[in-house]
Every structure is written in structure tokens, then in C-alpha cells.
């Protein structure tokens, strides 16, 4: 591994933008295939977090530290880390510009910039996160506060919000709500709480196969589910959250509701990262415009996307990244050989829905419905699925996904289908 702030090689055969789940996975795969020093990774952050662990950190079931690694230790052998940020893309010239204007050129590029948290889109939210009662499991800065707030909760409204934008791991705000419910029960203060789950969606979860189970969980836990509500303002002085009511098309109706909170967990609005939004790679939404099957940029065939930054209709999860990596490994290799992409992304994503401090619904799906890996009914909350979430998934991420060895569970799923159908 070589790291440098001052980049020596200004040209890479493959340039990877972003060193998160998708970027590291892609760089690892191609650093093994290509000659030494062919792969460059641009990533500004020194710490890499296993974000799926944040839900458990918020529930006091894992430490934040256990989910952190130094980026330096994760950059694949034979790849060069450029510890900087892409400011602008100039794909016609096959180059990117860094913060100080330095240019890096490429033959091929993988864009894996993730999605940007936009607490700034809610009036007062950034300030409120620094005040008592307000937290978010989406941010390494405010996730430990979630556990502290749940442990200190004395009574009143505990409010959990889901934004009116795309979001990564759309189940995480709900997981925060259910875990808090468990903690309050364990502490014997649940009867002092009115728990509200306020979502901009028209129902609890977008995938039918898991909706009934989740509705049952919310009912059993006595959660007040309020749909078509979007958090627009937090007044931390008076501990008031303002929601706008949305119509059936998720457009604001002009009507608002103010809710007093003792605990407010914010599911942040999100957008495509700024540099991507402003680039020729973006569609109208700001996300990277790719062919949904091949994951190739629609405009620039030497560029592919991976992960949350794309405009593919899948749920934005690390599990989806595993299938994206399988797809681009094939397709980018084909393109490097002067051939056409041939592999199709199947739309797979997964969201292990933590419904208490020891039960998980292991939701796996694409837009057509469930795509379960095991022969068991995964729509039921189980302890074995919790153990997978707590112990197996982190190991799979650190040793498989980001090292470019884990291509998703399709093969296991095909085997277990044989068992299931007998």
C-alpha cells in the first residue's frame, strides 16, 4: 500500500472515487487483476466506519470503536491512496480535479461516492443535534448519543423520523425506534413514553413481504405510526419538532403539525454528493445515471458506478453493494478487453431489521419482492438473524466485501431454494 497527499502518479488505469464499502471492494478486485500501481483510490476520510453497525451502537449493543478502522489499513495492496476529495469531474478529458486543482487522469473509473447526509435540509437540525434529546444513528458523531438518550429518558414523546428523500438503509430509523422501545422496557420506563414513528412514506416499509411483520411489531410495541409526515424544523429551545403533511405524491400540502419531544431521533434527508450532483454523470435527481442492468454510465462507457451514489431503484445498502461488485467486476473487465458488458445486476438488497435488542427480521429483496438466502421464513423476527446481524455480517464486511471477495448470497440462495422446494 502507498498513501500520499502529494500524488506522484497522476494517471491510473483504474481510478476509484470513494473508499467506502463499494470503492474498497472495487479497488480490491481490480488491484488483484491489474499490474502494480494501476489502481488509485481517492478518499478524503482517515476513518472508515462499518455503518451497518451504527444501529447496534445506538442500542448499546456494540461500541463505535469496534466499527472503526483506519482507512490506511484498508487500502488494498498494489493500490495508491490519494487522501483528497474530488471537486470536479471532467469526463470528456478522462480526468478529475482535486480540492487544490490538481488533476488525476484515468483510462477507466469507478464512482463509489455514497450518499450525503443533509441534516442542513431541516431547519435547526444541525444545532439541535448538539442539544439534549436529539440524536441520529446515521452519524458517527451522534450515534452514541442515541444510547445515552435512551438510557436517560424519563418520560414524554420519543419521536423517530424518516425523511422525504432517498436514504441509505431505509430501515435504520425504524430500527432505532424498536431498539429504543426495548431499552425503555428493560429500564421499566416504557409506560412513561409516547413513541411516535413519523415517516414521509405512505406506509411503514416499501416491500410488501415484510410490511405485515413490521406492522405487527409496531402494533405490539404500541408505536404511534404517523405516515406522510416530513420533519422540516427542530426548535431545540422549546423542544418542538415541526412536520409538514405530504399528499399521496409526497408533495407538501401546506399543513403542518408541531410535536413536543423529549427524545428526537432524526433520519436525515440525503442527496447525491455535491461533486457528483454538479457533474455530467448525474441525472436530474443528482445521482449517477447508470444503465440499471450493467451499472455502466449512460454517457461515458469507460465509467461504472457502485453503491449508494447511483440512480438504480434498489434499496441503498451494503448488501446491494455486494451484488453491484459482482456485476461491475465482469462488466468492467469486458469493457477493458474492448467487449460489451454482459452481466446484469439483479436488484438485490437486504436490510436486517432489528426489531428489539435480540431479534431481527432479515429482509432481502429486490423491487419485485423477497429474495431470501436461507430456507427459513425470514419475515419473522428471530434470534438467529440477530446473531447474523451482530456477528456474521461485520466479519463478512471486513473480510469479504471490502476485500473484494464477497459477491452476495445468490449462490447460497440458489442452493437453499432446492432444499425449500423439497
Please state, as a whole number, how many other Cβ atoms lie within 10 Å of the Cβ of residue 339.
10
- How many of the chain's residues bind ligand FAD (CB under 6 A)? 38
The distance in angstroms from the start CA to the end CA of the chain is 49
**Binding residue for ligand FAD, selected from 288, 321, 360, 361, defined by CB under 6 A:** 321
- Nearest to ligand UQ1 of 273, 404 (CB atom): 404
Is 351 marked active-site? yes
Q: Is 60 in the site for ligand FAD (CB under 6 A)?
A: no
Query: What does residue 82 show for φ and ψ, rounded to 5 degrees?
Result: -105, 105
* Least Å from the CB of residue 168 to ligand FAD: 4
Contacts of ligand FAD in 281-320 (CB under 6 A): 307-309, 316-319
* Least Å from the CB of residue 340 to ligand FAD: 25
Cell representation of residue 242? 415541526
Residue carrying C-alpha cell 461515458: 300
DSSP string, 11-47: EEEEEEE--SHHHHHHHHHHHHHSPTT-EEEE---SE
Give the integer Cα–Cα distance in Å for 80 and 7. Answer: 9
Residue 28 interacts, among ligand FAD, ligand UQ1, none and using kind-specific CB cut-offs from 5 to 8 Å, with none
Q: Which of 406, 412, 335, 334 is closest to 373 using CA atoms?
A: 412
Q: How many residues are present in the chain?
A: 422
Give the integer Cα–Cα distance in Å for 230 and 161. Answer: 8
Directed axis angle between helix 21-33 and helix 318-336, to 10°? 30
Q: Is 397 in the site for ligand UQ1 (CB under 6 A)?
A: yes
Contacts of ligand FAD in 376-395 (CB under 6 A): none
Quick note: the x/- pattern for ligand UQ1 over 290-319, rule CB under 6 A, is ----------------------------xx
Quick note: the x/- pattern for ligand UQ1 over 50-69, rule CB under 6 A, is --x-----------------
Q: Is 396 in the site for ligand UQ1 (CB under 6 A)?
A: yes
Please state, as a whole number, how many other Cβ atoms lie within 10 Å of the Cβ of residue 263.
24
Per CB under 6 A, the segment of 241-249, 280-288, 331-339, 389-397 that binds ligand UQ1 is 389-397
Q: Which of 350, 170, 168 is closest to 273 using CA atoms?
A: 168
Q: Is 402 in the site for ligand UQ1 (CB under 6 A)?
A: no
Please give the positions annotated as active site.
Answer: 169, 351
Q: Which residues bind to ligand UQ1, rule: CB under 6 A?
A: 52, 318-319, 322, 350, 352, 364, 373, 393, 396-397, 401, 406, 408-409
Amino acid at each position: 500500500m502507498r498513501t500520499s497527499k502529494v500524488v506522484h502518479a497522476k494517471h491510473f488505469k483504474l481510478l476509484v472515487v470513494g473508499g467506502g464499502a463499494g470503492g474498497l471492494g472495487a479497488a480490491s478486485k481490480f488491484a488483484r487483476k491489474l499490474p502494480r500501481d494501476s489502481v488509485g483510490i481517492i478518499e478524503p476520510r482517515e476513518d472508515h466506519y462499518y455503518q451497518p453497525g451504527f444501529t447496534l451502537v445506538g442500542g448499546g449493543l456494540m461500541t463505535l470503536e469496534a466499527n472503526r478502522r483506519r482507512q490506511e489499513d484498508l487500502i488494498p495492496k498494489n493500490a495508491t491512496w490519494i487522501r483528497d476529495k474530488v471537486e470536479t469531474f471532467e469526463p470528456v478529458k478522462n480526468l478529475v480535479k482535486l480540492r487544490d486543482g490538481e488533476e488525476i487522469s484515468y483510462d477507466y473509473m469507478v464512482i463509489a461516492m455514497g450518499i450525503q447526509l443533509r441534516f442542513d435540509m431541516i431547519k435547526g437540525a444541525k444545532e439541535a443535534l448538539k442539544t439534549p434529546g436529539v440524536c441520529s444513528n446515521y452519524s458517527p458523531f451522534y450515534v452514541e448519543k442515541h444510547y445515552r438518550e435512551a438510557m436517560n429518558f424519563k418520560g414524554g414523546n420519543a419521536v423517530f423520523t424518516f425523511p422525504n428523500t432517498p436514504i441509505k438503509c431505509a430501515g435504520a430509523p425504524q430500527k432505532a425506534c424498536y431498539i429504543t422501545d426495548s431499552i425503555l422496557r428493560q429500564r421499566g420506563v416504557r409506560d412513561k413514553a409516547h413513541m411516535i414513528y413519523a415517516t414521509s412514506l405512505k406506509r411503514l416499509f416499501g416491500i410488501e413481504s415484510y410490511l405485515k411483520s413490521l406492522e405487527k411489531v409496531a402494533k405490539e410495541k404500541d408505536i404511534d405510526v404517523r405516515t406522510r409526515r416530513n420533519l422540516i424544523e427542530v426548535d431545540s429551545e422549546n423542544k418542538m419538532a415541526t412536520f409538514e403533511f405530504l399528499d399521496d405524491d409526497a408533495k407538501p400540502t401546506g399543513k403542518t403539525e408541531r410535536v413536543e419531544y423529549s427524545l428526537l431521533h432524526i433520519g436525515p434527508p440525503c442527496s447525491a454528493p455535491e461533486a457528483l450532483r454538479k457533474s455530467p454523470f448525474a441525472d436530474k435527481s443528482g445521482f449517477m445515471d447508470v444503465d440499471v442492468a450493467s451499472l455502466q454510465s449512460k454517457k461515458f462507457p469507460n465509467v461504472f458506478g457502485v453503491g449508494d451514489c447511483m440512480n438504480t431503484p434498489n434499496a441503498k445498502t451494503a448488501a446491494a453493494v455486494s451484488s453491484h461488485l459482482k456485476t461491475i467486476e465482469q462488466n468492467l473487465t469486458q469493457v477493458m478487453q474492448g467487449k460489451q458488458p454482459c452481466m446484469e445486476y439483479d436488484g438485490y438488497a437486504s436490510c436486517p431489521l432489528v426489531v428489539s435488542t435480540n431479534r431481527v427480521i432479515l429482509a432481502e429483496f429486490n423491487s419485485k419482492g423477497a429474495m431470501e438466502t436461507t430456507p427459513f421464513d425470514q419475515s419473522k423476527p428471530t434470534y438467529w438473524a440477530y446473531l447474523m446481524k451482530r456477528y456474521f455480517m461485520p466479519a463478512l464486511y471486513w473480510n469479504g466485501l471490502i476485500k473484494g471477495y464477497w459477491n452476495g448470497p445468490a449462490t447460497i440462495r440458489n442452493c437453499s431454494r432446492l432444499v425449500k422446494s423439497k
